[in-house]
Amino acid sequence: MLPQFNSAFSIDCVIFGFDAGELKILLIERNEEPFKDWWALPGNIVGENESLDQSASRILHELTGLGDIYMEQYYTFGDVARHPQGRVLSVAYYALIRLGGDKALKPISNYAKQAYWVNIKELPRLAFDHQQIFDKGLEKIKRRIKHQPIAFELLPEKFTLTQLQNIYELISDKKLDKRNFRKKMLSFGVLKDLDEKQKGVSFRAATLYRFDKRKYAKLFGKEISF
């Protein structure tokens, strides 16, 4: 083996979820050195026979029991001293997942004591360069939400326009006009009106919509600005 083969690489994931009107990410409490007992992004060393994407999916699955999630590589962090035990590159992924109260997260694997959803505005001090990794991830989805339909990934399959608007306001950090928002969203023709109303709310129930992937696929190539 050549002398250059002396490095390792890992995946770290910024997993966004939307819950109780707040944007949260998944953090673990580390159970191993280095940074034992610190909060950290879920991440792990990539296996010998895993591609990066496969590894990211595996890690997400181990942590949450979830599969089939929109997930994307966005940057690779490689400062010389970012890991105390040697040269370790970290390839960062973000994921957006539906946080239904019903689907509890499955027990997580050994490398963490516990995992929690934490509001992105109240993050604790993080291990390694994970704060930097998070910052870049947030920046990324802020930009991406304009041109790709990632907001839908955070919502349950059936959602109201108000819920959708909340997500946009949370991520972009500004207030939007309700009428203009609805007009624009509906004008893309990618929302399917389900002829069905919200239930269990103590006020007028809103119409439920579903994101229509087929219709979205037909727009491919056109630049959209949600």
Partner DNA sequence: CGACTTAGTGTAAAAACGACGTAAATGTAA
Partner DNA sequence: TTACATTTACGTCGTTTTTACACTAAGTCG
Answer yes or no whether residue 179 interacts with DNA by CB under 7 A: yes
Pick what 138 binds: its own copies, DNA, none; C-beta below 5 to 8 Å, kind-dependent.
Answer: none
How many residues of this chain bind its own copies (CB under 8 A)? Answer: 28
Quick one: which of 106, 147, 197, 218 contacts DNA (CB under 7 A)? Answer: 197
**Minimal distance in Å, beta carbon 160 to DNA?**
5
Asked if 2 interacts with its own copies (CB under 8 A), we say: yes
φ, ψ for residue 6, nearest 5 deg: -135, 20
Cβ neighbours around 92 below 10 Å, total: 25
What's the order of all strands across the beta sheet hosting 22-30?
39-40, 22-30, 112-119
Distance CA 67, CA 90 (A): 22
Which residue, 121 or 204, is less far from DNA as judged by CB? 204
Identify residues 162-221 at the interface with its own copies (CB under 8 A).
Answer: none
H/E stretch holding 187 reads helix 178-187
If binding is defined by CB under 8 A, does position 69 make contact with its own copies?
Answer: no
Inter-CA distances, 105 with 40, 55, 75, 128, Å: 17, 19, 26, 25
Footprint on this chain of its own copies (rule: CB under 8 A): 1-2, 4-9, 45-46, 48-52, 73, 75-76, 78-80, 85-87, 89, 91, 146, 223
